[in-house]
Amino acid sequence: MLEQDQKRLSGMVDRSDTVALTGTVESIGFHNPESGFCVLRVRTRDDWEPAAVVGQALRVNVGEWVEARGRWVTDKRHGRQFKADELRLKPPGTRAGILRYLSSGLVEGIGPHLAKTLVRAFGEQVFEVIEQQPERLLELPGIGRKRQQRVLRAWREQHGVRDIVVFLQSHGVGTARAVRIYKTYGDQAIERVRENPYRLALDISGIGFQTADQLANRLGIARDAPVRIQAGVRHLLWQGAAAGHCADWRDELTARASAWLGASAVAVDAALANELEAERLIKETVAGRELLFLTHLHRAELGVARHIRRLREGRLPWGILGGTLDVDQAWPWVEQRAGLILATSQRAAIAAVLDNKVSIITGGPGVGKTTVVNALLLMLRAKRISIRLCAPTGRAAKRLAETTGQEAKTIHRLLEYDPRRQGFKHDAREPLDTDLVVCDEASMVDVSLMHKLVQALPDHAALLLVGDVDQLPSVGPGAVLADLIASGAVTTVRLREIFRQGQSSRIVLNAHWVNAGQLPEVPEPQPPDGDFFLIRCEKPPQIGERLLRTVTERIPQRFGLDPLQDIQVLTPMNRGDLGTRALNASLQRALNGAAEPRVERFGWVFAPGDKVIQTVNNYDKEVFNGDIGRILSIDTDARDLRVAFDGRVLIYEFGELDELALAYAISVHKAQGSEYPAVVIPLSNQHFMMLRRNLLYTGMTRGKRLVVLIAQPQALSMAAEQTGEARLTRLAARLTSKVPDVPEDQFVQFSPTAQQSNPTGESGECVS
């Protein structure tokens, strides 16, 4: 016994010599809900002082009963600790323990006040009442039917989650996504995971192939099992889709999968054959080579091509071809109403749109796209044409509404997502009631969302796509706007002439220089009242220091702009010292460091006043990827927080906070479709993987009043010189060939691409 105690105190206990520890959670020193790692102070029956217990638990609360197995060690920094290999938590059995347990916020809807009421009313039987006699909760003051249901739902979830945690931990997998697994699969979670762990990578947000593969290995699934290889090739195709591609060459995919999975080419070919037979993949032969598509992307490409061809046919809804409007005589009326003189290129653009049912207007900043659209809408409103305006993001839709004076919606809201269908209300069976749809920021629309939009247009309607084809490719797969232009099947007007207002803006001029592959021009010394500034730094740490000072001091003092409301930091990457995570942490400390209360979830710390961004589409809340809001309040008792998005206040339970991230700094990708009074862009050699011309061009064109580049000279040169990789798509070819009918039953989300165009010129051009 003495020898064992000496081993414990010295930290030299053998790893196989595990012991048990039981007690009550006295306090929580640290807990990371994403990884499950925790440091607990546990009151045991044998010790006067609480023991420090280190382990993993998805959820932990003060007052819970702990059953752990592990070993005692002596940490050089923290002293004697119990390192738990297994950590199980159970509800307590004493009144005091129950009160602390329920007061900790474990069960949503129960705070300290209600916890006292429950313990006073039901004593040690409170858990039995919740589980077996839930109607008795309604006898208590302050509990109505809605709150009762919330409490019961959270209580049931606790038990389901604990079973999942035990199962996952017993197979060596972390507990970070156990709640989401339970919510997805319910009571069948363990059965479904045992049956095919690779389904987690498809069904559960945040779980990728690697995690599923680790679990499969623990469950005894062989490395050469067909189910593993099939999941692996699907994963590689999904990776390609995340990079923007709609397909992959079969020979290249086979070689890549074989090396990555450690499987023979024969086994990979067999897996691909099974996926093709199950219609999860579609095969096409192009120039003698086989091209493989994920089925939903293949259907989306076919659908876009078919519906574009359908919309191009027939009579124009405004009857221009019938001679009911003399366009040449309409110019004086339009110019008088709009209070401007249209340039020749702008008149040509309007005439081209009026002569075609499907058309595109593209061009960079300052070339008059907004003027053309407004003049066109004036003419068509006078003809009583029904017009619907939309854009891919909430901010882009809001800006479109402001510039046109008409209602504009996101594409998702225009098509009206229906949770019962798990799809949009408006589709080929129930099309929109409109004569014309104008979609702004069309370069952001990916192939799947464009499919949903075009199939919802009635046969008689026209479609106008407006956007800058030279902007950064979107996050989702496809190159829709670029492919439509490249196909020659859609009338395209490219505006090139920079008008007077744009000519006086260094932002506009430098954006066009960068788009032409040249460095921005900055006069020396830089004028204090300018709208474009370049701060050169030799090393990355200098960039971080200058950025913080620029956002918190220099811009607010010189331009009177609010660092939270008016200034947006845009960075090329999420990781690294100058990525979104690191910059958000430093900007949050500087701008909102004193705010309380604070809640830490999924790697982020949130506080009232923080600027946040929605990171996924949430159709129930009608808030979408890229929407930016502000946290109004945090309720630690109710375990939720309130966020304001463009005047709407939404409630997020703590378990939903993986949908939010801090937004003091966001990626350039996330900023597409938005404009800000001022943008600050750091460019470092650390960002070399992302430094491309269209990234810098897109970031610069997000600034409305002010753009500040804080850059290493080499990184700036690299960004201006390097062009992006072409995306592998077949939409352009489909637009010029016969397209077969395809089912209209797929609902998928993603977003688009752009392509490089010629530098700015003197006038616009129309290509039919």
3-class secondary-structure state, position 341:
coil
- Spatial contact of 195 and 176, defined as CB atoms under 8 Å apart: no
Q: Compute the distance between CA of residue 615 and CA of residue 612 in angstroms, rounded to an integer.
A: 9
- Please say whether the dihedral angle defined by the alpha carbons of residues 395, 397, 398 and 399, taken in this order, is positive or negative: positive
Burial class (CB within 10 angstroms; exposed 0-12, middle 13-18, buried 19+) of 225:
middle
Structure tokens at 399: 């800006």
Residue 13, φ and ψ in degrees, nearest 5: -60, 140
Q: In what order do the strands lie in the sheet with 567-571?
A: 532-536, 703-711, 676-683, 567-571, 665-667
Residues paired with 249 in a beta bridge: 291
Structure tokens at 582: 């690191």
How does DSSP classify residue 207? -
367 known ligand binder: yes
Residues paired with 633 in a beta bridge: 642
Structure tokens at 334: 């339009």
Q: Compute the distance between CA of residue 12 and CA of residue 74 in angstroms, rounded to an integer.
A: 8
Residue 38, φ and ψ in degrees, nearest 5: -145, 155
368 known ligand binder: yes
For 410-417, which contacts have Cβ atoms below 8 Å and span 24 or more sequence positions? Answer: 410/624, 411/439, 411/445, 411/449, 411/452, 411/453, 412/617, 412/619, 412/622, 412/624, 413/622, 414/388, 414/390, 414/453, 415/452, 415/453, 415/456, 417/619, 417/622
Scored b (16 or more CB within 10 A) or e, 260-297 reads ebebeeebbbebbebbbeeebbbeeeeeeebbbbbbbb
- Spatial contact of 378 and 404, defined as CB atoms under 8 Å apart: no
| Angle (CA) 509 513 517, round 5° | 165
Structure tokens at 11: 């930290």
Amino acid at 551: V
Q: Compute the distance between CA of residue 457 and CA of residue 437 in angstroms, rounded to an integer.
A: 8
| Residue list for the binding site for ATP | 366-370
| Residue list for the binding site | 366-370
